[in-house]
Amino acid sequence: MTRTVLITGATSGIGAAAARRFVSEGWKVVGTGRRKDRLDALASELPEGTFYGAAFDVCDRSSTEAALNALPAEFADIDVLLNNAGLALGTVPAQQASVEDWQLMIETNITALVSITHRLLPRLIERKGMIINLSSTAATYPYTGGNVYAGTKAFVHQFSLGLRSDLHGTGVRVTSIEPGMVETEFTVVRTKGNKAASDDLYAGSHPLTGDDIADMIYWTASLPPHVNINTLETMPVSQSFAGFQVARDL
């Protein structure tokens, strides 16, 4: 039986790689994102009938609802919800950060994610489906400038575990995927278009790729139905942990 995954944020990075991976494994994919041209390009690249693009802003509740209501019948039976759409904005300490950036991260990474999850839960329960959420190593390991972004990802981690508990006995699986550095458009977005800063960050570091994370996402989804991966934390070998900082003479 062909299964269907709905991937938020399929226009680039991890979401686009996951869309290609699921289709290559015989799944149908509903891919979302604001950039309709990217969704159209993905639809043309993939075999006919395997990909349906739904262009909407996840922060706009009525567009989200309209898009989900308008899914064609052959893509409407969602088995897996991959909550991937998200962003970081800014790398400066809290005391220099923009509150508008903070609000947009909270709206995208938390409010939209819980709203779409709530909307699809009845169908996922009916189909004994699965929810895969994109958290981050930032949920666990603080770094300067991570502030609200890291907080949103800590929410995603804990929400995922809470869902596991609430969905006890339904057969619905829930996984929190928690990567470190993955080279995507993430840093271009975070720096508001500074491609050079993004290139500098990843240069020579052999970061994880969208395809690496798509492999892990697909693996969690393809395990037998009695197996649940609660959290999956991953980093490139080139990335690890640093110590605490100490201020003198305060």
Residues serving a catalytic function are: 149
Amino acid at 151: G
Closer CB to ligand NDP, residue 130 or residue 150?
150
Using the rule CB under 6 A, is 198 a contact of ligand NDP? no
3-state secondary structure 97-110: CCHHHHHHHHHHHH
The whole-angstrom separation of Cα 236 and Cα 180 is: 7
Site string for ligand 8X3, 146-185 (x = CB under 6 A): x---------------------------------xx----
- Among ligand 8X3, ligand NDP, none, the one that 57 touches (CB under a kind-dependent 5 to 8 A) is ligand NDP
Question: How many other CB atoms are there within 10 angstroms of residue 168's CB atom?
Answer: 9
Using the rule CB under 6 A, is 148 a contact of ligand NDP? no
Using the rule CB under 6 A, is 145 a contact of ligand 8X3? no
- Among ligand 8X3, ligand NDP, none, the one that 145 touches (CB under a kind-dependent 5 to 8 A) is none
Outline where DSSP puts E strands in 57-215: 80-83, 130-134, 173-179, 182-183, 208-209
Closest CA to 132 of 24, 12, 22: 22
Closer CB to ligand NDP, residue 154 or residue 171?
154
Strands 182-183 and 51-55, by their bridges, are unpaired
- Among ligand 8X3, ligand NDP, none, the one that 34 touches (CB under a kind-dependent 5 to 8 A) is ligand NDP
Closest CA to 193 of 69, 87, 54: 87
Task: Catalog residues that contact ligand 8X3 under the rule CB under 6 A.
Answer: 136-138, 146, 180-181
